[in-house]
Amino acid sequence: MLADVTTPQDLDERFRSALGGLAAAPARPDPDAPITDGSALSGTRARELFEAQVASRHLDLAARWLRSFGEGYYTIGSCGHEGNAAVAAALRPTDPALLHYRSGAFYCVRAVQAAGGTGPDTPVPAAAAPAPPAGTGTGTGEVGPAGGDDGHSGTPGRHAAAGPPDPAGAPDGAGPSDAAGPLPAGDDTAGDPPPAAPTGPPLAGTGLATAIRDVLRGLVASAREPIAGGRHKVFGHPDLEIIPTTSTIASHLPRAVGIGFAIERGRRVRPGPGPAVPAGRDWPSDAVVVCSFGDASINHAAATAAFNTAGWCDHSGLRLPVLFVCEDNGLGISVRSPRGWVAQALRAKPGLRYLAADGTDLAAAYDAAAQAVQWVRQQRRPAILHLETVRLMGHAGADAEVAYRAAAELDRDLARDPLVRTAELITSAGLAGPAELLARYDEIGWLVRTLAEDVLAEPKLTSAAQVVAPLAPRRPVRVARAVAEAGATVAPTPLAGLPPPAANRARVFAERVPEQGGPLTLAQAVNATLTDALITWPRAVVFGQDVAVKGGVYGVTKGLRERFGASRVFDTLLDETSILGLGLGVGLAGMLPVPEIQYLAYLHNAEDQLRGEAASLSFFSAGAYRNPMVLRLPGLAYQEGFGGHFHNDNALGVLRDIPGLVIACPARPDDAAALLRTCLASAAVDGSVCVFLEPIALYHTRDLHEPGDGGWLAGYPAPTQWAAAHVPVGRARVDLVGSGADLTVLTFGNGVRMSLRVARRLAREGVGTRVVDLRWLAPLPVADIVREASATGRVLIVDETRRSGGVGEGVLAALVDAGYVGVARRVASVDSYLPIGPAATLMLVSEDSIHQGARSLLAGAGTT
Ligand SMILES: Cc1ncc(C[n+]2csc(CCOP(=O)(O)OP(=O)(O)O)c2C)c(N)n1
């Protein structure tokens, strides 16, 4: 009977004693036969998976050992979930995977597959397995079940051991087989003898050894860790097609749905000529995307959104090759899933096929996984695999399970230890004896220990610059070039007549190219620019609620679907989380997503997809993965005749602090076109995540000062002028009204038009104003702000967002940081939601309040 808290020692001792109690069955002649009657899992494969399970277990033990002396930073482990080795085995190493944080065994299996396999090709005698000569791997990476799931071969050599050779080498010292043991807390391993003679193929330099080192590097925050480079402990590797997930449970599921969508879309639509989006992955057309998660996670809004969207797509006849894997240990930290709830909830998901298995039984898990994968791959339809697991050693290192679990319950879980069960499977099939398995367990443990000591010496991230380097790299010159090139591809060349792309453009615009028409409103300019974007960026797709058939609730996307078809411009279901998830998935797959969220207020229920997923991916993958995206976000206030908070939301605080996010806010039609082209190019070139914030109230505005003056319209530049009209990220626009010498107004969006009108009034009063349209709310145009502020020494910030958390706070801070020594005032909106009707004007910045602010600033500064 164990104590009521499971420790690494408990687990290790329990494993040893369980194996000690196993009887060796008569050796069997054919290791490639099914491990049990009726199973598709071969003996050879079972042994490979056992090794991955053992490696995963030792990594969990190592995590606690490293933590015990302050050199390990993560102890959420995979103990009890090692059955996910079977899921990896049923998949191909080219199938994109977004994994639960308990996926150590999955990761190890995939690394082995990608490296070409390490399992013995030839039968290993049960009693005394001699070490085969070096290089005796399967070499095929075949992952289908015996009898052929799909006959696929892996991708040998794609994940060969990286970095210096493993110092551990094949353990060759003499000594008792249990000498290596687990890594007890605080144990100094330096004096330990190596384990017994090897009982299987050498481990050094194998995919398994590489996987072990990868994970250990994550635990110690080594800068050499292959996915996050010391920024997080996460399962991920670009060569293994494992896309890192965040710690936010279930938030990766909407992206997985998006990837499934992209894979299917890629099968049907071949992009035409034109610039590619370089950051994209090129998954096989019959790939399956897998995403795994725990049982408590199925209740999360992000998960229910993903299940629903997958079912909705399936119901609509859209193919979606997504495999959801729920690893059900019955608990979310301390909270139990009600008995039977998980099965009932998952079974009931419309459009998703449900399969279940005991995840502690390797053969059962493998058979169910193979069946699920086969279904998804062949039918191109989504499925859920529900694996019942156990959770050993608590939720994480610091979790005292005793507070909420009875000792008997812990004991019951221990009795279902997947490692022991796989060992039973192998020994009872006569494939190996218990002593041999135990010796292999120790060899792998020794390797983990040796590599753990190795990675401790590796460099960590040592400067803030290093940490942020992959966050949102920007290459403005290349972005400018991409804009120019996009223009050049469709520009008519007078000498050669119309080249095909230009002819295509003329056809798309029905011979009425916008530069030859009259001046445009902001809405029309966005529409024309989106049209050009869909011509010049063949991988661009425009989607969202109501954007296609209706053409947007304000007509901004009108005609796009007719011009480009439903494969490039499509309506989605009404779920902002899924709209963004779709963008994340298709962006990763090399498309250029331009989703729309109908109103700024409705971003908030999906914001994590932008903040936690989109903007963080490059950071947590050290730039290996990018999700280019231009999110169109109609918003801000001042709509006449359509009031109320939700359609006039003027709060941007939630966007302003997202690291690396680009926020463009055009006020005028010509800027709308230029800023949108920049966002598209920046997304395509640098993988930027851009929010294109469209002030709704200015969509159809035509005049500036007088009715009919057309002062808010602008011509559309011909493609030959796009380069000259280019606006780099972070550059403001300045208008001098009068002398421009007395006052600097820093503003954006609706504030620009109001400020220009007030500036004319001030000019008549003898005051010269510089009206600075920030245009970019992140990153702010700091250099322009400081230069224009210093030009007058009197700054009025006109901020239509809220006083608290509004854009003005950032502008003021930029001035202070830059050492601005003049005076400054701010007019901003009230910290409130907006009411409907005329009362809204009480809350918002108005022309009168701008004028008043300017006058008191000038009075205070001694200017009349
Ligand atoms: C959105 C979110 N809320 C809360 C947490 C904190 N948290 C981390 S793991 C966890 C429990 C998850 O349980 P389950 O999905 O069953 O996975 P398990 O850990 O049991 O494998 C919680 C609440 C989180 N990571 N993300």
pLDDT value of residue 195: 56
For residue 335 and ligand 1, the question of a CB distance below 6 A is answered with no
Q: Could you tell me where the DSSP H helices lie in 269-325?
A: 301-315
Question: How does residue 154 score in pLDDT terms, banded at 50, 70 and 90?
Answer: very low
For 314-320, what is the mean pLDDT? 96
- Residue-wise pLDDT for 291-307, tens only, equals 999 999 999 999 999 99
pLDDT value of residue 642: 83
For 533-538, what is the mean pLDDT? 93
Percent of the chain with pLDDT strictly greater than 70? 87
Atom of ligand 1 nearest to the CA of 250: 1
- Residue-wise pLDDT for 696-750, tens only, equals 999 999 999 999 999 999 999 999 999 999 999 999 999 999 999 999 999 999 9
pLDDT value of residue 495: 56
* C-alpha dihedral sign at 156, 162, 165, 170: negative
Residue 297 Cα to ligand 1 middle (Å)? 6
For 505-520, what is the mean pLDDT? 92
DSSP string, 585-634: HHHHTT-EEEEE-SSGGGTGGGHHIIIIIITTHHHHTTTS----EEEEEE
Asked whether the beta carbons of 630 and 610 are under 8 A apart, the reply is: no
Question: How does residue 15 score in pLDDT terms, banded at 50, 70 and 90?
Answer: very high
Asked whether the beta carbons of 545 and 572 are under 8 A apart, the reply is: yes
- Residue-wise pLDDT for 475-487, tens only, equals 999 999 999 999 9
Among candidates 493, 499, 514, 615, which has minimal Cα distance to 563? 514
pLDDT at position 599 over 90: yes
Residue nearest atom 11 in ligand 1 by C-alpha distance: 332
pLDDT value of residue 168: 32
pLDDT value of residue 138: 28
pLDDT value of residue 144: 27
For 815-830, what is the mean pLDDT? 97
pLDDT at position 274 over 70: no
For residue 329 and ligand 1, the question of a CB distance below 6 A is answered with yes
For 150-162, what is the mean pLDDT? 34
Token code pair at residue 193: 């003898």
Active site residue ranges: 647
- Residue-wise pLDDT for 608-631, tens only, equals 999 999 999 999 999 999 999 999
pLDDT at position 840 over 50: yes
pLDDT at position 137 over 70: no
Mean pLDDT of all residues belonging to the chain: 89
Question: How does residue 127 score in pLDDT terms, banded at 50, 70 and 90?
Answer: very low
Asked whether the beta carbons of 587 and 627 are under 8 A apart, the reply is: yes
pLDDT value of residue 718: 95
pLDDT value of residue 398: 81
Cβ atoms within 10 Å of 476's Cβ, excluding its own? 17
For residue 333 and ligand 1, the question of a CB distance below 6 A is answered with yes
Q: What angle do CA 553, 554, 555 make, to 5 degrees?
A: 95
Atom of ligand 1 nearest to the CA of 76: 19
For 210-218, what is the mean pLDDT? 98
- Residue-wise pLDDT for 47-56, tens only, equals 999 999 999 9
pLDDT at position 163 over 50: no
Among candidates 733, 633, 624, which has minimal Cα distance to 674? 733
For residue 249 and ligand 1, the question of a CB distance below 6 A is answered with yes
Residue 302 Cα to ligand 1 middle (Å)? 13
For residue 253 and ligand 1, the question of a CB distance below 6 A is answered with no
Polymer length in residues for the chain: 864
Residue among 56, 75, 235, 249 whose CB has most ligand 1 atoms within 8 A, to mutate: 249
Question: How does residue 276 score in pLDDT terms, banded at 50, 70 and 90?
Answer: low
